[in-house]
A and B are shown apart, each in its own frame.
Chain A
């Protein structure tokens, strides 16, 4: 009996010793993943190589995209966006491989524009896009227009491209006109369904367009932030809501899969408002346990219902929200949270090294691209703010 008690005490003490130590085996220094002073860290370079190999024909891109499209065609599209943004950032910190990065960026944008033109924007949308009528006569989705515009803008921040310049000069004014037409200054992602995720990406694209082409949108951007503060903020948490109809009626409250990226995009539009949104998201959604960082999908005060973008939500913890939290934590220089999130990524995403490539087995192409952009996002925004 006494021996049994002693063994149980030993088990409890062993648990108390081991569990707080576990994260140390997975917790890297931020410098090992996030570029510092113009140096692209080896791990991040390997993550980049996995995508470059795919698009250069040595990987399994078609298979990856097909498997993702079975679940959600949006992932195919977002995977392209996150990758182009990562490559543009990489081109700014790694000039030796700049031409290779630019070639892949152009390949992705050209292929995306081809698909948009041949199959329509619906090719990248979930099927319910066709179940309802669009409110705006253009029947265009700001999800598609915003991300395409931002990828072109990012490419042009590295090096000018005349074709993208003229496309942006058509696409962005049409997008702004759609946004101005709504009382909440947001355009539809799906029929009568506006997402803050898509509209904030569109705002970042508008901002970069304003910087690159001296386009007169500063007043619109200020007006957007003022409207959002007044009409699109959740009363309980102060965070921006995720989706709403064209008149601003709430469809989904604040969500981790939206707010982190929104804060990141707003950082070039209104840094003060963006920081406020990040701090609120950190308070209501950002968590750490035993040295591992993670993020909830919904604040405890306003539990929402899961959708496919939330991923596999277990006890409120969302992999998508956690991956997006990494993007925001790096973007807002939150070092301790970044380290915790990286520890979780290394512990829970099953990294697999193959030669000079690194992929995460618990992820897919869009997840890997999202994680990559999470680490490689600062140089581009810094370049925009410096101009």
Chain B
């Protein structure tokens, strides 16, 4: 149960990140360089979109792979225990 939840969560991270990229949220990362994505000054929405995208990027490059490795390790432990019995 926990195993499928972890895999689901990791896949969700990657799926959300892919959706965010395809929907054009990626352009808002220019706010990190203090440059507005449009012609005017940086707005609150620009900052929110930037934070969302960067967060999804961070989750998909760190948390998601860690969850998958943890699932692999747990499975390996179970197999090892079974083998030792």
Contact = CB atoms under 8 A, between A and B. Distances in A.
Contact of A361 (B26, B68, B77): B26
A10 B33 contact: no
Could you tell me the dominant secondary structure of chain B's interface residues? helix
B4 to A, nearest CB: 13
B36 to A, nearest CB: 6
Chain B: interface size category: 20 to 34
B69 A362 contact: no
Contact of B36 (A18, A67, A347): A67
B40 A350 contact: no
A1 interface: no
A364 B33 contact: yes
B61 A70 contact: no
Could you tell me the dominant secondary structure of chain A's interface residues? helix
Nearest to B27: A361
A362 B62 contact: no
Interface in A1-47: 3, 6-7, 10-11, 13-15, 17-19, 22
A15 B73 CA distance: 11
Given A361-B26, A361-B30, A68 B35 contact: yes
Contacts of B36: 67, 70-71
A340 interface: no
Contacts of B65: 18
A311 B34 contact: yes
A350 B31 CA distance: 12
Contacts of B70: 7, 10-11, 13-14
Given A15-B66, A18-B69, 6 more contacts: A14-B70, A14-B72, A63-B39, A350-B57, A361-B30, A362-B32
Interface of B: 2, 26-27, 29-30, 32-41, 57, 61-62, 65-74, 77
Interface of A: 3, 6-7, 10-11, 13-15, 17-19, 22, 63, 66-68, 70-72, 308, 311-312, 319, 347, 350, 352, 361-364, 367
